Every structure is written in structure tokens, then in C-alpha cells.
Amino acid sequence: MKEPIIISIGGGKGGVGKSTISANIGTALSQKGFNVGFIDADLGGANLHLCLGVKRPRVGLQDFIKGNYKSLNEVAVPTLVEKSWLISGASDILELANPNFAQKQKIINNLKKLDADYILVDLGAGSSFHVTDFFAAFPYGIIVTDGLPTSIENAYGYLKNGIIRGMVRLFPGKTELQNRIKNFSDPQSKKEFTTVNDLLNHLKNDYSEETLLLKQWLHKRRSFLVLNMVKNADDIKIGTRFAEMVKKYLSINLYYIGYIMFAPEIRASIKEMRPFMLKEEPSRIRDCFEAVSQNLISITRGSV
Ligand SMILES: Nc1ncnc2c1ncn2[C@@H]1O[C@H](COP(=O)(O)OP(=O)(O)OP(=O)(O)O)[C@@H](O)[C@H]1O
Ligand SMILES: [Mg+2]
């Protein structure tokens, strides 16, 4: 069995459409013949199940974390989307809203063993460790923003924290090195660097091998920008400017893979509890999701 391509979906800001995009990109991938797995890692506010037509998931991540089930695939449930499954994060157990590091690691390690071509991991809002640990764990990540200045700032903070978190986690136990990496992300720090490249240049004097590892890790990452709720042609350009800023300051590849228009039909589809993409007739919204999914496939399956 080939390992699945695992993609996190985050963006820092709440309500920008992360779950909607997860559900509809997943549907588009399934319509192209891929087996798709959905993970709702928004443990404090899980609602991806509703976007996929699952009213009340019988089992979910909490059952796996608590050890009631040995393997993750036992807590997967079918969805309205053909050849797909969902592992829900819905839970009444408050303590699981903020899983500890070991609990998160248990989920992350077991995702690779699941049977799917693509696994989409829908994240909650914010840039705390609960969110960025999932971003850092997988080389692929979609960043969703609606392009408003507040959302752009949050998306940048999410990416920056996620990258710092991933870099720190490469060196367990090396506290001095970890602190130097973390200082970059600490707004209180006087030793702040302006770009990840500056940080790497500075580190390489004392940590040459580790700096090489950091560069390799950054180089392997593929992050994808999706601009949601686009209303006009000017909005579309925001994505290009944001991708340039990320490249310059954070030294990672951010591929602007497309935009989704603002459309009341999308909101209506949430009310109906059916992904919009299950409507097969041609439409501009369908074209948007198709384009984004096709770009995602091209990059993740090696033709770019
Ligand atoms: N392109 C769009 N056009 C119109 N409405 C949209 C669009 N995308 C999302 N919405 C609506 O915005 C609301 C928020 O979407 P969604 O729940 O997917 O956001 P989210 O980022 O996952 O939120 P949270 O941070 O709470 O997890 C929903 O009601 C959804 O229907
Ligand atoms: Mg959501």
C-alpha cells in the first residue's frame, strides 16, 4: 500500500472557510478517482462532519486517543462523498479539545497507516501549538484566507509559527538551538531576525550541520494558498502579493493554487449538509474548486 498524501488545511483566522474548502476539495479529488480521507483536527470546534453530511459521528478521534480503539481506521465513518471516510473530532470531552503533545503525536504517527490516496486534515482557528503541530508534521499544507488585512496577518502568523514549530521539533533536547530558533518568533525578543534566511545565516556559524537540516526541511515543504470568498478581480491579486511576502520573509514555497468566489450557494450547501461539489452541473464555483484541486494534484503528484 502506498503512503497517503497528507495535507493540513489551516489559516489562523476563524470562519474563513477552512472546513468548506476541505470538504469541497476532498469531493473534487474523489470525483477524479482518488480515495479521500478527512480528519477533523479542530478538536475544540469540530464541525467538518456536518459539511460532509454526517449528522452525529458514531465514533471519532476521542475514542482513539482514549485507547478504546487500537487503530485509527476503526474510528472512521463513511460520508456522502464516494470512496471517502471521515475521522471526526466531535466530542463532549473538554479535556480533549487541547490534546497534549503525546496525544497529537499518536494521531500524527498513525495517519500514515490509513488507506487513502489523499488525507485532508482540517484544522481549527488560531496559531497555537494545538494547530501548528499538525501544520508542522506534514510537508503539505493549504492556507486559507479571505484576503482581508486581518486574515492576511493571521495567515502569516500561522505560517510563521508553524515553521518555527517544525524547525524546533527537528532538534529534541537541543535547548540552546531551539531557543535561538524560537527567538525569531518571539516579538519580545531583542534578537529578532527579519527573515528565516537571516536566522539560518546566523545559525550556520555555530550549527552548520543543523542549519543544513533546517534548509532541507524548509525546501521539502509545499504550502498552498487558497483565497476564499473572492468578490472581484482586485481580491485575486492579494494572493500573489501574499505569496511573494511569504517567500521573502519565511523562505518557503507558497504556491498560490487558486481562489474560490464568494457565493451564497456555498453557504446554502452547508445548511443542506452536502458539499457544494456534489452538484454535478457546470458552474463558476465548480470551476474554481476544479482548478484548485487540479493544481494540488499536479504539485503533490510530481508534475511541478
Ligand atoms: N466562498 C464562500 N462563499 C460564501 N460563503 C462561504 C464561502 N466559504 C465559506 N463560506 C461560509 O462561511 C462560513 C464559515 O465557513 P467554515 O466553517 O468553512 O470556516 P472555517 O474556517 O472552517 O471556520 P472555523 O474557524 O470556525 O473552523 C460558513 O457558513 C460557510 O458556508
Ligand atoms: Mg472549520
Question: Strand order of the sheet with strand 140-145?
Answer: 77-78, 84-87, 36-40, 118-122, 5-10, 140-145, 222-230, 254-261
The per-residue pLDDT string of the chain (304 residues; one tens digit each, 9 = 90 and over) reads 789 999 999 999 999 999 999 999 999 999 999 999 999 999 889 999 999 999 999 999 999 998 999 999 999 999 999 999 999 998 777 777 788 889 999 999 999 999 999 999 999 999 998 899 999 999 999 999 999 999 999 999 999 999 999 999 999 999 999 999 998 876 666 666 679 999 999 999 999 999 999 999 999 999 999 999 999 999 999 999 999 999 999 989 899 999 999 999 999 999 999 999 999 899 999 999 999 999 999 999 985 4
Q: What is the pLDDT of residue 100?
A: 87
Give the domain range for residue 109.
5-300
Q: What is the pLDDT of residue 188?
A: 67
Place of cell 534548509: 215
From 123, 262, 267, the mutation candidate for ligand 1 (largest count of ligand atoms within 8 A of CB) is: 267
Question: Whole-angstrom Cα distance, residue 246 to residue 266?
Answer: 29
CATH number reported for the structural domain that contains residue 96 in this entry: 3.40.50.300
CA angle 246, 139, 148 (to 5 degrees): 35
- Based on the structure, what is the number of domains in the chain? 1
Question: Whole-angstrom Cα distance, residue 210 to residue 170?
Answer: 9
Pocket lining for ligand 1, CB < 6 angstroms: 14-20, 42, 45, 124-125, 228-229, 260, 262-263, 266-267, 270
* Biggest alpha carbon–alpha carbon distance for the chain: 59
Q: What is the pLDDT of residue 54?
A: 97
